[in-house]
Every structure is written in structure tokens, then in C-alpha cells.
Structure 1
Amino acid sequence: MRTFLFLLLTGSLLTAVSPASAQEKTAVRVRPIGAVDYGTGAQFLFRNGEVVLHQDNNYQPLTKNIRLANGTKINYKSGIVELPSGKLTTLHEGDYVNSAGSIVFATPSSAAAARHDTIGANAARFEQYVERGKIVPLSDLQAQLNRQSQQLKLMEQKVRLLNQKIDLLSRQSTPPDTRQLDQQLRELDQQLQQLAK
């Protein structure tokens, strides 16, 4: 009788659904009919008056309209893009749509035209944007690396001292004298603060 009750209880526990798992719902993302996944590096580039697939430094002419997984539609002949919200925009030379459905404009005037901002498209003067990183002299870089190396060594010493203190405190029933360790920790903290300045 005991084994029967044990088996019955075990079986009911195994087949029961926990309240947490019963409430879990996974969001199911439905792919639009006809949508094709081109991978993350695909770009639908407007080039020479039509949309081409640019992927892995290769350009392939398209023979049909494109529908992306997020619902974005691209007309391969005219460059008209319909976003999932229903908004229409036209690609200009150099503009492209990435595989996620985001439009990347080649020029500020192209972006202004997509916003139907004719004043901004014609009147604005833009310079070529070139991203320049901060140039750090090699001597400054070396000094910064040395300072970080010293900080790392001091932090390693601090971890060792803290581990010693924990070991002392956990081994003895009466509180041990940790003044020497505490003093060493204070000195390390001061050195770390000086390096941080």
C-alpha cells in the first residue's frame, strides 16, 4: 500500500504543471507570407536606377520585388520601399535597406527627400563626414598602461589580504587581531586612490 501511494504521489508530481511554467508564454513571431531571410549582411542597394542585392562584396541584380521578414516591401525596379507601418519612401542612388528592414541614406539630401523636406534638401550645405579617432601620443598610452598595471597589482594584493582576513576570521571562535591586515588594506587603498588621480 505504501509503495502504491508513493508511486501515485511521484507520478502526479511528475505530470503536474508548475504554475510558473503554465503562465509562461513565448512570443511567436509570424513571418509574412513570401518573406525571405537573406542573412544579416544583406543590403538592398539602389544603384544605377534599380535595386540590387549587395552581399559579401557581390552585387546581384534582382528579378522580383522583395519582402523582408519584418514586413518591409521593396520594389526592385523603382526603389519604392513600403515599411510595415504603411509608410512609403523612395530610395535614391546609394541608399539601401538592410536585412532588418532599416533604411540607410547615402546623403543628407537623400534623407531630407525621404522626409519630404525640400528646403532642407536644397538649402543645406554638408561636408563629407569623416570619423576621426582621438590620437593619443605613444608616451601617454604607455603611461596609462603602466598606471593600470600598477592598479591591477595593488588590487591583487588587496584580494590576497582580504582572503587572509577571511581565513583568520573563519578559523577562530574568538575574534583574532586583524589590525595589521587592516593597516595594510588602508595603505593599499591610499595607493590606489593616488593612482586614480
Structure 2
Amino acid sequence: MSVAIYQLKYPIGPFTKPEPLDGRVVASAIDTIASFPTKLRLAVATLTSEQLDTPYRPEGWTVRQVVHHCADSHMNSFIRFKLALTEDAPIIKPYYEDRWAELADTKALDITYSLILLDGLHARWAALLRSLEPTALKRVFIHPEQGKQLALDEATALYAWHCEHHLAHITTLKDSKNWT
């Protein structure tokens, strides 16, 4: 992969686990998760249907697919968090995000539906996260594809990164196309 394509694929860089992963880092990650729907809504507010159907990089998803992907991914994550909080080290179910991105609702549906979904989902997710004691954030789920446990504090940081990562796909595309 060329450097230019890599930078388009990872405009904020790949996820790295914050060290130390302390209460301050987790609180900041929760704030990012809480504010994401508003930031996303602002980033796409003025885009036309044609612009929404523009890929953010060669062979990448369109902006429309990215918005719907965030709803899909974050719904899955929220459920994983709740499983980890109510079961002992549950094995989560992975999903084929690339296949989900090719379904009709992701490729063609108005993004308003996913924006509304993200508003409610992120409000609940942030409220849940803010209610947790530090020990609860050490609870884990097991990702079978990766064969490892993921603690909720690290998953919180990962999904804060995921929010910023996909937001940057959209804002970087807008900047490169001079879509103000």
C-alpha cells in the first residue's frame, strides 16, 4: 500500500493502546464517544447526495457507507460492552463489516436514519460508561478472531479512536475536494 493510500486509510494513524490507560484517558475517550454524533452530523450537514456517494479513498467506502458503518459498528460495540458487564468474559460474535457495507441499507439509504440512531446510541453508551466504577472497566470480552481478551477500558479508547478515525475520513475528503 502506498504511503498516500495508507494516510487516506488511517488519517489519524492506526489505533495504539494508550499508556498509561488511566482514568483521565478513559474519561477523555468517553467524552469523544459522547460528542461523536454531533461532530459527525456537522461534518455531513452540507453534503449533497453525490458527495455522500463519493469514496473517501480509492477502493474505499463512500461517505454514506462510512456513516452507516459507524451505526453498525457502534451498535455491535455497545452490545459487547453490555455483555461484558453482565457475563463473565463472554465470547463476542464478530461480523463482516465489509459485507454489511455492501447491503442496500448501507449503500443507498438516507444517512438521517443512522444519524438519529447514533444520537440515541451514543447518549446511552456514554451514560453507561460514566456510571461505571474503574473495576467494571477492567471486565473483558473475548474476540474469537483475535484470540484475545479486550478490557472495556481499552475498548473505550479503541472506539473513541474509531469515532475520530471515521470522522477524519469525511473531513479529509471534504478538505481535499474543497467542500466547505
Q: Calculate the TM-score normalised by the size of structure 1.
A: 0.25
Select the structure of larger CA radius of gyration.
1
Q: Which has the higher contact order (CA 8 A, sep 6+)?
A: 2
Give the structure with the higher percent helix: 2
Give the structure with the higher percent strand: 1
